[in-house]
Amino acid sequence: MSVEIERKFLILKVPQNLKKTKGKLIFQGYLAVEEGGNEVRIRKKEQHYFMTVKNTGKLQRKEAEINIHKKEFDRLLPLCGERTVEKTRYEIPFGKHTIELDVFSGQHKGLMVAEVEFKDEKESLHFKKPAWFGREVTALQSYKNKNLAVHGLPN
């Protein structure tokens, strides 16, 4: 099990150098989403398949991820119903960090969100965001992927 420390931001406009970066298609479905914030999801990223369990949290959350086979993913996917998210993820180097820019498609088309992971909370507090980042939404539950899958786009 690992601990994830990340901040999340809305994106005002896509950076110009994005065209030089190859994105990875991600499709994920949610098998279980608790009111308290715990979640179980399956994910296809390119030709790799995973099941992930995360607990509740804003800046810091525990997660466990295991590899699964395509056959298991295909068997579990119908259990997700419409609780799904489709996006293209771009990994953009930024100083000593990597920005994960998610450009959503499907039912969430038009939404763009960037996440940055940190080694500890102190490092996260000293992060200077690039000019193309918009409002921080780390603490807003409505921008978590599981809530986008269950409730759709926030107003």
Query: Which one of the listed residues 30, 49, 90, 143 is annotated catalytic?
Result: 30
Phi, psi of 18, rounded to the nearest 5 degrees: -65, -30
Taking phi over 0 as left and psi of -120 to 50 as alpha, with beta for the rest, 121 belongs to: alpha
Residue type, 101: L
49 is catalytic: no
Residues marked active site are found at: 30
